[in-house]
Chain A
Amino acid sequence: MRWRRGSQFATAGMAILALVACGGSSGGGGGTTALNIAFLPKAVNNPYFDVAASGGQEAATALSGQFKQVGPSEATGAAQIPFIQTLTQQNVSAIVVSADDPDAIAPALKQAMAKGIKVVGYDSSPAKDARNVFINQADSKGIGVVQVQMVCDEIPGCAGEIAVLSATSTATNQNAWIQAMKDELASNSKYAGLKLVKVAYGNDDPQTSTTEAQALLTSYPNLKGIISPTTVGISAAAQVLKQTGKAGKVQLTGLGTPNLMRAFVKDGTCKEFALWNVKDLGYLAYYTAALLVQGKIKGNPGEKFTAGRLGDYTIDPNGVVLLGPPFVFKADNIDQLNF
C-alpha cells in the first residue's frame, strides 16, 4: 500500500527528469543579429544606473534596437547570477553588465558567451575572460588621483584624518579607486599630512550609508574629510553632515550626480566632487555591444570604432575602452548638466 503512493512521486519525478534530460539544448543558436540588448546593473534601485540606462535607451533608439534593464534589488554579488541565466534563456543578443562580484558571475557569463551572446562590461568589470569588452568610465588611477586632490584642496592646510565611505567591498571599480587613492597618498609628498583612517562600506544602500557615515563622525571626532566614491554614499554623507551641523567642519568629496548633490554644493556642505558623464557611459556601452552583435568589431585589442555622437574610440591591449577624463563639478558649473 505504501509503495503505491510512492509511485505517485515516481511519476512526477520522472516527468521533471525526462523534460530535463531529453530537452537537449533546444534553446537554439546564440543571439541573432537583431539588437536585443539587456543592461544588468549591480542593483536596479540606484539613481546612478538609472542615468546610465537613459544613455543606453538613447543609443537603442538611435540604432533602432531593443533596450531593457533587469537586476537584483540589493547589490550582493551572487544575486546577479539568476538574472544572467534568465537572459541567456531569453536569448538576448548582448548583456551589458556592471559586476558587483566579478568571480561569482564569471561562470554564468561564460555560459552565455558560449551560446554566442556578446558580453560588455560597464562601470565595474567582470572577470577579464568573462566579457568581450569593458567600457571604463575613467581610468582608475585618474579617479583616485582627482579625489585625493579635491579633498586636499578642501581641507585647510591639507592635513588631518580622512575616511572613505565606499559601496560594497567586492566591487572591482571601488577597490581599484581606493587602491589608487592609497598609492597616491603614499607616493605624493604633497599629501603627507593626510591620514586615511578607515574604509567603511555603505553597500550602496541609503540607510546603511547613513548609519556608516554617522559612525565615522562619532568614532573619529577629529576627522577632517570624507571621500565617498559612490553616488549613494556621498549624498547620504552630505545629509548626515548637514543634520549633525558638521557641514563645513568636515569636508566631503567623491563621485556624485549633479541632481543629487546640487543642494549640498550650493550650501557648501560639499564644495566640489567629480564624476563622468554617466549618460554617455550608458550610450557608449550600448553602442559597443551593438557593434559586437552586428560583427562590425570583434573586441580585439587595437580595434578602432566610432560610437555615434561620441566620436572615435580604440580598444586598449586588455580589451578596455576609456570613456574620457573625470569631470569636476563645482558651484559655478553644476547647473549646466542635468542627470
Chain B
Amino acid sequence: MSTLALALSRRWESLLVILLVAFIVLGSSLSPFFLSGSNFSDLTSNLMEKAIMALPLALIIIAGEIDLSVESMLGLASALLGFTYALGWPLWLDIPLVLVAGATGGLLNGLLVTRAGLPSLVVTLGTLALYRGLASVVLGPRSVSGWPQWFTDFGFGDVPGTLIPWPLLVFAVLALAFLFVLNRTWIGRQIYAIGKNKEAARYSGIDVAKMKTFLFILSGVLSALAGVILTARFSSARADNGQGFVLDVVTSVLLGGVNIFGGEGTIVGVVLAIFVIGVLRNGLTLADVSPDTQSVAVGALLILSVAGPTLVRRISAARPRRQLTKPVSNS
C-alpha cells in the first residue's frame, strides 16, 4: 500500500474514532440508560450478524466488485436451518449443510460475475431477489422454533460471568483473521492489486477470476453463518430474517473508508464503522425513535461516506497544483 493511501486511511480511521465517541456522548445525553454495561452488551449482540457479513463484503468491494445478496443469503440460510431442523435432523448436521448452501450461493454469484462477465451489481441484485424468494419457498410464512437450549443461549446469552455476547467472540476471531489476511498476506496484496488495476493484476499472472469467485464464496458462507447466529438469537427460523440488513452492512463498509471503486480500505476502518452505526442506532432506539426512521440517518451516512471523499478529491484537484517536491517528468 502506498504511503499516501496509508496516511489517508489512518486519517479516516481517526475520524471514525471521533465519530464513535461523539455518538456515545449523543446516546448518553438522549437517554440515562445508554451508558450501562448491559446496554452495550445488547447493542453489540444486535450488531454481530451485520458485522460478520461486513468483513467479506469489504474484501469484495476492495477487489472492485459488490455483493447486495448478503441479507437474502442470511434469510435463505435461516429458512434452510429451520426446514432441516423441523425434519428432525440434528443441528451438528444442519449447520454445516447450511454453510455449504451459503458457499453454493456465493459460487453462483462468483461464476456469473467472472465467467459470464456480468456486472456484480446486477447479478447480486438478481440473487438478492432469488435467494429471498427461495427462502420463502423453502419455509413459506412458517416460523420454526423449539431450538435446543444451548443453541438459543449461544445466540442470546453472554459468556458466563461477563457481559460479552458469544457471537462477539466469533466476530472478534473473524475480524482478526481478516485483518491479518488483508494486511500481511499475499492474498491481501493480490486483492488490493485487483482492486487498483484489474488489467495489471491479470498481466502479472494473478488469477483474477479465481480470487473473485473465492471472495464471493466467502461472502456466501459468512452470510449463512450470520443466518445461523440470527436464528439462534431470535430462537426462530423465518424466511424474512435479515430483511433491510443490506443498508447497514454496505454503509459500515463504505463508512469504514473502503473506496466504492475498489483498491482502498482497511478492516480496522470497517470494524470502527460497524460500532459507529451500532451506537447510533442504539442511542436513537433508547430515545424511542423507530428503526425505520433511524434509517434516515444511516442512509444519509452512506451517501456522505462516498460523497465526502469524492468532493474532497475534486476540491483539492480544483485548487492550483502546488509544485511537488520532485519534478515529475512524465514525458
Contacts and interface: CB of A to CB of B under 8 A. Distances in A.
Interface of A: 2, 5-6, 8-9, 12-13, 16-17, 19-27, 44, 68, 70, 72-73, 76-79, 81-82, 85-86, 89-91, 101, 103-104, 106-108, 111, 168-170, 201, 203
A103 B164 contact: no
16 contacts: A8-B10, A8-B17, A9-B268, A12-B17, A20-B40, A23-B37, A24-B163, A25-B37, A27-B38, A27-B39, A82-B46, A82-B285, A86-B42, A89-B39, A89-B42, A101-B236
Contact of B288 (A12, A22, A68, A111): A68
A78 B44 contact: no
A96 to B, nearest CB: 16
A6 B37 contact: no
Interface in B127-141: 140-141
A125 B319 CA distance: 65
Contacts of A111: 156
Nearest to B233: A81
B249 interface: no
A26 B38 contact: yes
Find the residue from B20, B31, B142, B163 having the highest chain A CB count within 10 A. Answer: B163
Given A23-B41, A89-B38, A107 B156 contact: yes
A82 B234 CA distance: 10
Contacts of A44: 290
Contacts of A169: 140-143
Given A17-B164, A23-B40, A78-B236, A2 B291 contact: no
Given A20-B37, A23-B41, A77-B236, A101 B145 contact: yes
A203 B234 CA distance: 19
Contact of A76 (B14, B39, B233, B240): B240
B234 A104 contact: yes
B211 interface: no
Given A23-B40, A82-B46, A9 B272 contact: yes
Contact of B238 (A21, A23, A77, A90): A77
Given A20-B37, A20-B40, A23-B40, 8 more contacts: A8-B14, A72-B291, A73-B291, A82-B285, A89-B286, A91-B33, A103-B145, A111-B156
Nearest to A200: B141
Interface of B: 6, 9-10, 13-14, 17, 20, 31, 33, 36-42, 44, 46, 140-143, 145-146, 152, 156, 162-164, 168, 172, 179, 183-184, 230, 233-236, 238, 240-241, 243, 266-268, 271-272, 275, 285-286, 288, 290-292
Nearest to B289: A70
B235 A104 contact: yes
Given A23-B36, A89-B38, A16 B163 contact: no
B141 A90 contact: no
A26 B285 contact: no
Given A20-B40, A27-B36, A104 B164 contact: no
Contacts of A27: 33, 36, 38-39
A6 B268 contact: yes
B38 A77 contact: no
Contacts of B142: 169-170
Nearest to B184: A2
Contacts of A20: 37, 40-41, 44, 162-164, 168
A104 B230 CA distance: 11
Nearest to B34: A89
B141 A5 contact: no
A62 to B, nearest CB: 24
Contacts of B31: 90
A5 B17 CA distance: 13
B33 A82 contact: no
B63 to A, nearest CB: 20
Contacts of A106: 235
B6 A21 contact: no
A13 B36 contact: no
Nearest to A106: B235
Nearest to A103: B145
A59 B164 CA distance: 40
B141 A103 contact: no
A23 B37 CA distance: 4
Contacts of B40: 16, 19-20, 23
Contacts of B36: 23, 26-27, 89
B143 A170 contact: yes
Given A5-B6, A103-B236, A104-B235, A16 B44 contact: yes
B145 A104 contact: yes
B234 A81 contact: yes
Contacts of A24: 37, 163
Given A68-B288, A82-B285, A12 B37 contact: no
Nearest to A10: B268
Nearest to A82: B46
B143 A25 contact: no
Nearest to B231: A78
Find the residue from A16, A17, A79, A170 having the highest chain B CB count within 10 A. Answer: A16
Contacts of B271: 9, 12-13
B137 to A, nearest CB: 15
A78 B241 contact: yes
A86 B172 CA distance: 24
B290 A8 contact: no
A103 B235 contact: yes
Contacts of B168: 20
Contacts of A17: 164
A9 B179 contact: yes
Find the residue from B36, B142, B240 having the highest chain A CB count within 10 A. Answer: B36
Contact of B33 (A16, A78, A90, A103): A90
Find the residue from B9, B140, B143 having the highest chain A CB count within 10 A. Answer: B143
A201 B240 CA distance: 14
Contact of A8 (B46, B146, B235, B268): B268
A168 B141 CA distance: 8
A108 to B, nearest CB: 8
A2 B239 CA distance: 42
